[in-house]
Structure 1
Amino acid sequence: MAGNQPLTPFENALAGALGGVFSNAVVYPLDTVKTRIQANKKASTNPAAEKNERGPEMLRVLLRIARGKGGIPELYKGFRANILNTFVQQFAYFYWYTVVRTLYIGRVLRSRDPAPALSTVTELVLGALAGALAQLFTTPIGVVATRQQIGSHDHEEDADESIMGHVREIYHKDGLPGFWRGIKPSLVLTINPAITYGVYERVKNLILIASGGHMSPGKSFLIGALSKTLATIVTFPYILSKIRLQAKNTPYKSAFEVLSTIAQKEGILGWYQGMQAQIIKAVLSQALLFYFRDYFELWTRQLLSLSAGAKA
């Protein structure tokens, strides 16, 4: 039956990409807040008032941005570039993950089972390889999206904040290599989705065994939240490094320089600035991605079933 056939790399990638777009659209204001915290740019124009603020840092920064000059639309700066980046990144990741997994199962294991249980280490390696291939294609869009979210400094109010404005500025200042700023920590961060999906697949398999093969979108949400939290904690210093390397007018040349400078000024704990915001945003986004992806997979399989029935 078509409904039980494995999805092709394209179908798997499309389901994952659409799931990523939907999930990222829901949490986008939180993404803007966490990016500004990590870039050490919190949109504060009144330091005295800032000292009197109460509550979690993420909420304080969100309210500061919403009450600022740009208002609520400021929380959606870079939305189009970010959504495009999310779609391309998730599509590329799921496509390459399906390809390398299928090749490994068919060429290395020579298994006739299209979905055999793989070890955690194997899942991590395959996920990291897929993530590295995806990053080579998506980093330029990510650089533009990050700069739009962070915004210009106060003395650059006349700066062109459009996608093409940032593209021209990056090319003018740094040439083509500027579009791949932060690629090294990005490649290191391929372990993040590798950990996420590795843990997700392992826990998912345990739940499938325990529940007789039944997997609901709700369970996917919870497993996605758990797996992304673990991955974020492990890789956060490099997430922070990547954001600061991609920021406009950054003084840094490498992730090592970012981390050593922060350690000298703020101590090792400075490496985790904005981690709470990152975890909240990442967990919600990843859990929603798995939730939506399961629905898109379901719809894709139903379409395949209908198509197979029509041909019969």
Structure 2
Amino acid sequence: MTSVLPPFVQAASGSLGAASANTLTYPLDLITTRIQATEKGTSIRKQIHTYGLSSLYDGIGADTGATLLSSFLYYYVYSFLRALVVRGNGKSKAAMLSLPQELAIGYLSGIVSRSITTPLNLITVRLQTARVSDDSPTQRGTSRFTAIFRQILAEEGFRGFWKGFSSNFVLSLNPAVTLYLFQQYRRVMLKGRERASPPPGHSFVGGALANSIAVIMLYPLLLAKTVVQASRRSNSTNNSSQGLSIQSSLQGIYTVGGFFALYRGLGAQLFKGILRQGTAMMVKQRIEQLVVQAYLRQRALRRVQYKS
């Protein structure tokens, strides 16, 4: 079962749910990124003591903007493509599609959303890791967002804003797998009206479990992407970050720390994912329920007015 609401409603509810979850879990997201981007991680107590509590919200504006845009595009494209496939198969809107169809629709939706929001994601990673970097931009009279934007443009040109994008050809399976597993959870665990409109508790648990499985499957690539986006191009031949790619990042992490290094920060990523995806699904489902209830009330009111 999946939502039968119009694409715009699904996109709006999905983006608002994702933005709410992002705001709630942002400090944990920042901590996770810093653990992933640095071999030894960073002391959170030291960060707070040195830079203040506000340092745990570095880049939240850019990240929230990227989250809103990415989630809106993903759910809009997903619901639009799914409606086309369902209509072509002659099925009802709430019908389950096959696994290849669901994954293909989710994958294409992920590619579209990530291709547009990758520049904002890249700037967010730079903002999150700037305080633990020796070469963070500190230009007077400009915001840190603008300074990092100019830094990337000067060092690598416009193509630099899509640094690490190649990993998205695999990582776009993450939201596709997550959404598919969440739908399977609804199908197996819920019945009747609850299956079509899951209660908040089931929305949270289902979203958290689905996201955890998807993250574990693709985590090394997620780690490598963060390392690549956090790195800067340098003219120094001694700087290992020069020309860093997803493949070389994976090889470097494995060479230095072995297999388990490919999963550094996984615990924090899973904990963040449980809170974020669970909250996002819960808020999304609740908004859709409110939209349906408002529609039913409006229709009942029209009927009363018509009879009178």
TM-score tier, shorter chain, comes to: 0.7 to 0.9
Aligned equivalent of 2:280? 289
Aligned equivalent of 1:227? 210
1:307, CA displacement in angstroms?
4.4
1:268, CA displacement in angstroms?
1.6
Aligned equivalent of 1:278? 269
1:253, CA displacement in angstroms?
3.1
User: Which runs of 5 or more structure 1 residues have no equivalent in the other structure?
Assistant: 45-60
Between the aligned partners of 2:64 and 2:178, the Cα distance in structure 1 is 21
Name whichever of 205-214 and 10-19 sits farther off: 205-214
The aligned amino acid for 2:168 is S
Between the aligned partners of 1:212 and 1:231, the Cα distance in structure 2 is 24
Aligned equivalent of 1:118? 97
Assess if the C-alpha contact under 8 Å between 1:139 and 1:180 holds in 2. Answer: yes
Change (3 A) 1:292 1:90: same
Assess if the C-alpha contact under 8 Å between 1:120 and 1:202 holds in 2. Answer: no
Aligned equivalent of 1:145? 124
Between the aligned partners of 2:36 and 2:243, the Cα distance in structure 1 is 14
Between the aligned partners of 1:252 and 1:110, the Cα distance in structure 2 is 50
Assess if the C-alpha contact under 8 Å between 1:139 and 1:179 holds in 2. Answer: yes
Between the aligned partners of 2:192 and 2:23, the Cα distance in structure 1 is 33
Q: Aligned match of 1:244 in 220, 223, 227?
A: 227
Assess if the C-alpha contact under 8 Å between 1:245 and 1:253 holds in 2. Answer: yes
Aligned equivalent of 1:181? 163
Counting only pairs closer than 5 Å after superposition, residues 124-143 of structure 1 correspond to structure 2 as: 124-143=103-122
Assess if the C-alpha contact under 8 Å between 2:119 and 2:161 holds in 1. Answer: yes
Between the aligned partners of 2:294 and 2:177, the Cα distance in structure 1 is 31
Between the aligned partners of 2:247 and 2:215, the Cα distance in structure 1 is 19
1:167, CA displacement in angstroms?
1.4
1:179, CA displacement in angstroms?
0.9
Between the aligned partners of 1:260 and 1:74, the Cα distance in structure 2 is 31
Q: Deviations over 1:22-81 (max 9, x none)?
A: 01100110000000000017675xxxxxxxxxxxxxxxx4333222x2111110000100
Assess if the C-alpha contact under 8 Å between 2:137 and 2:144 holds in 1. Answer: no
Between the aligned partners of 1:212 and 1:173, the Cα distance in structure 2 is 53
1:215, CA displacement in angstroms?
2.2
TM score, norm. by length of structure 2: 0.87
Q: Deviations over 1:160-193 (max 9, x none)?
A: 6622222111111111111111111123101111
1:155, CA displacement in angstroms?
5.2
Q: Deviations over 1:135-166 (max 9, x none)?
A: 11111111111111111523547356622222
Q: Aligned match of 1:168 in 145, 150, 153?
A: 150
Aligned equivalent of 1:57? none
1:225, CA displacement in angstroms?
1.2
The aligned amino acid for 1:104 is V
Between the aligned partners of 1:137 and 1:25, the Cα distance in structure 2 is 21
Aligned equivalent of 1:87? 68
Aligned equivalent of 2:24? 26
1:220, CA displacement in angstroms?
0.8
Between the aligned partners of 2:20 and 2:216, the Cα distance in structure 1 is 24
Q: Deviations over 1:191-220 (max 9, x none)?
A: 111111111101111223378746211111
Between the aligned partners of 2:194 and 2:270, the Cα distance in structure 1 is 32
Q: Deviations over 1:217-244 (max 9, x none)?
A: 1111111111111011000001011111
RMSD, aligned α-carbons: 2.1
Secondary structure class of the residue paired with 1:154: coil
